[in-house]
Amino acid sequence: MTDGENTRPSNFIRHIIDEDLVTGKNDGCVATRFPPEPNGYLHIGHAKSIALNFGIANDYNGTCNLRFDDTNPHKENKEFVNAIMNDVHWLGFDWQDRLYFASDYFKQLYDYAVQLIKKNKAYVCDLNAEQIRAYRGTLTEPGKDSPYRERTVDENLELFARMRAGEFQDGACVLRAKIDMTSPNINLRDPAIYRIRHGVVHHQTGEAWCIYPMYDYTHCISDSIEGITHSLCTLEFEDHRPLYNWFLEELEVSCHPQQIEFSRLNLEYAVTSKRKLTELVDEGLVAGWDDPRMPTIAGLRRRGYTPRALRNFCQRIGVTKVDNIVEMAVLEDCIRTDLNETAARRMAVLHPLKVIITNYSESDVEELPAANHPQDEVMGTRVIQLSNEIYIDQHDFAEVPPKKFKRLTVGGEVRLRNAYVIRCDNVIKDAHGNIIELHCSYDADTLGKNPEDRKVKGVIHWVSAKHALQAEIRLYDRLFKHPTPDASDATKDGSDYKDLINSDSLRTLAHCYIEPSLAEAQAGEQFQFEREGYFCLDSMHLPGNVPVFNRVVTLRDTWAKIERKQ
């Protein structure tokens, strides 16, 4: 039910909008926006917000703008702008011609600030950062007025103009809203709304400005300018809402959007904070923003996740105000559900063990048809080659089999997927006792049919040793070994979330064998390697190089569960 992309989710934000529609608020219009700051790549938490904002716009016949909240040029750049646009599109959402930057409004924002000063609702304050902090008071004690709070309107007007003209050094003064230094809500204790920043080149406005507006001031006005009806943001902005409303009321703008807060997504065994993701990248703890272990959109894409799976995930987790930590199993089920339906089946041997089929002619090669999907005939078939030498996986053979083992054992039989039943006659070992080869014999009367006199339970995958291609396969696992790496209980022993990185999160298998048809795989294309999992050809793959396949996710593994219990 929650799987269908066509079913409308039910959540408190949609209830509010439904109510607004019946009361005729906003003339029945719905306008949302996705407002990222271009100071990093988007992560799965942003996907939730994107799906929410664009999803609502879509379902209510409204619009959703993409607006970059680019008021802090120190941390932002064009690479991030481009990466974000790319990721939103890739996820399947379109802002059409509604691409905006908060920096588009710098002039208007400046004029509004002048308006505020004229109303005696803003003043230039010469206190430095530490002094402002001291004057702010604490959570339980009120703050006290700045000595500059009662400057005249004219004086403030002149000072602010000089700030803009570049007459003051960074930090020399700020423009502050004049609200209430004794407010129990700290956000209302005369917040700074403009600061001075010399010597930075803004990625959109260049060096046109040396003063930059702050988030609280910018965001509500940007929303208002764009005619946003419902401004959706995360819970930590809840006590900024009075400030959001204060600016819009003082400025007497014609559009006053409603800010609604929802809880951000937390994913087990991952961090979803831009600060931390930036650290992982900057300190080289991962290979980059698109490292397949990263919970970034770019990382998930490189890992082999599909937009559809991610959209489905966002729908499944819902939207509430409750603090939550979603299990990785939900995400994994989403990609399995998608790929089970769409990925072609192939065979690949990850841990090769040579098998000689002793009664199979050395010069013979058979070309066997194999279905690309067991349930979907329209996906067609491909040809696989069989010869007297094949590779199977080391885990599919056991000299001393555990209970319920239905793979190959000495003297036992197993079916080669899409081919014949073989029996293991002999185990060849090296001087150290390591198994290096198996000698088997095949039953020629078992192609496409089961033997009548006996039951062969196991089926294993394989590739022809004479035909297989070499490949590197990268097995990815969760990046962190702790379910909540950034929670205080996980780090209270003084360890940092970075100490909780799973050293086994990437295992590279350099010498794997894959079936020849995989030579035609396209970069980024996903396959199911039967009995192993879903894999995708790395998007950086260049034709002619040894292919690298990334494991997207394993198959559900009932056998592993049984083994664990034993």
CB 525 within 8 A of CB 450: no
- Binding segment for RNA (CB under 7 A), chosen from 294-302, 378-386, 416-424, 506-514, is 416-424
* Pick 196 or 514: Cβ nearer RNA: 196
How does strand 174-177 pair with strand 230-234?
unpaired
Pair 262, 237: CB distance under 8 Å: no
Q: Smaller CB distance to RNA: residue 223 or 291? A: 223
- Site for RNA contains 375 (CB under 7 A): yes
Q: Is 281 in the site for RNA (CB under 7 A)?
A: no
Residue 2 found at the interface with RNA (CB under 7 A): yes
158-166 long-range contacts, Cβ below 8 Å, gap at least 24?
159/124, 160/113, 160/114, 160/117, 160/124, 160/194, 163/124, 163/194, 163/196, 163/210, 163/211, 164/110, 164/209, 164/210, 164/211, 166/198, 166/210
Stretch that binds RNA, among 280-288, 358-366, 524-532, 536-544 (CB under 7 A): 524-532
Quick check: 21 binds RNA (CB under 7 A)?
Answer: no
Show the binding pattern over residues 463-502: x = contacts RNA (CB under 7 A), - = does not.
-------------------------x--------------
Contacts (CB under 7 A) with RNA, residues 376-395: none
- 237 touching RNA, by CB under 7 A: yes
Q: How far is the CB of 140 from RNA (least distance, A)?
A: 4
Q: Which of 75, 98, 197, 264 is catalytic?
A: 264
Q: How is residue 448 written in tokens?
A: 């496409």
- Among the listed residues 164, 274, 311, 531, the single catalytic one is 274
Q: Binder to RNA among 65, 71, 258, 484 (CB under 7 A)?
A: 71
Where are the alpha helices (H) located in 283-344, listed in sequence order?
297-303, 307-317, 328-342
Q: Does 243 bind RNA (CB under 7 A)?
A: no
Q: For the window 320-339, what string marks contact with RNA as x by the rule CB under 7 A?
A: xxxxxxxx-xx-xx--xx--
Phi-psi region of 153 (alpha: psi -120 to 50; beta: other; left: phi over 0): alpha
Q: Compute the distance between CA of residue 52 and CA of residue 58 in angstroms, rounded to an integer.
A: 10
3-state secondary structure (DSSP) of residue 138: coil
Q: Which of 91, 113, 132, 356: binder of RNA (CB under 7 A)?
A: 132
| CA quadruple 100, 103, 104, 109: dihedral, nearest 10 | 120
Among 206, 369, 374, 380, binds RNA (CB under 7 A): 374
Q: Name the segment binding RNA (CB under 7 A); options: 244-252, 443-451, 495-503, 539-547.
A: 443-451
Measured between alpha carbons, how far is residue 364 from residues 34, 388, 437, 517 in Å?
61, 7, 20, 20
Nearer to RNA, 5 or 238 (CB): 238
CA gap 94, 87 in Å, rounded: 11
520 labelled catalytic: no
| Distance (Å, whole) CA 342 – CA 335 | 10
Applying CB under 7 A, among 99, 201, 235, 436 the residue interacting with RNA is 235
Residue 149 tokens read as: 């709070």
Q: Which residues, in sequence order, are CB contacts of 509 under 8 Å at separation 6+?
A: 350, 351, 472, 473, 474, 475
Check residue 270 for interaction with RNA (CB under 7 A). no
Q: Does 449 bind RNA (CB under 7 A)?
A: yes
Selected from 317, 356, 384, 521, the binder of RNA by CB under 7 A is: 317
In the residue annotation, 274 being an active-site residue is answered as yes
Give the range of 317-325, 350-358, 468-476, 515-523 binding RNA by CB under 7 A: 317-325
Q: Is 264 annotated as catalytic?
A: yes
Residue ranges in 150-209 that form contacts with RNA under rule CB under 7 A: 170-174, 184-187, 191-192, 195-196
User: Min. distance of Cβ 287 from RNA in angstroms?
Assistant: 25
CA pair distance 476, 505, nearest whole angstrom: 5
CA atoms within 13 A on the CB side of 538: 19
Total residues contacting RNA by CB under 7 A comes to 97
Near RNA by CB under 7 A: residue from 338, 413, 530, 538: 530
Alpha carbon 494 to chain centroid distance?
28
Q: Which of 37, 366, 472, 525 is catalytic?
A: 37
For 153-214, where are the alpha helices, taking DSSP H only? 153-164
Q: Is 429 in the site for RNA (CB under 7 A)?
A: no
Q: Which of 5, 79, 129, 369 binds RNA (CB under 7 A)?
A: 129
In angstroms, the Cα distances linking 481 to 16, 45, 269, 285, 497 are: 40, 20, 6, 15, 10
Could you tell me which stretch among 1-9, 47-55, 494-502, 506-514 binds RNA (CB under 7 A)?
Answer: 1-9
Residue 509 and residue 532 in contact, taking contact as beta carbons nearer than 8 Å: no
> Which residue number, 86 or 446, has a Cβ lying nearer to RNA?
446
Span of 81-89, 377-385, 403-411, 499-507 interacting with RNA by CB under 7 A: 403-411
Q: Which residues contact 394 (CB under 8 A, 6 or more apart)?
A: 351, 352, 353, 435
Q: Are 297 and 290 in contact, with CB atoms under 8 Å apart?
A: no
What are the catalytic residues? Answer: 37, 264, 274
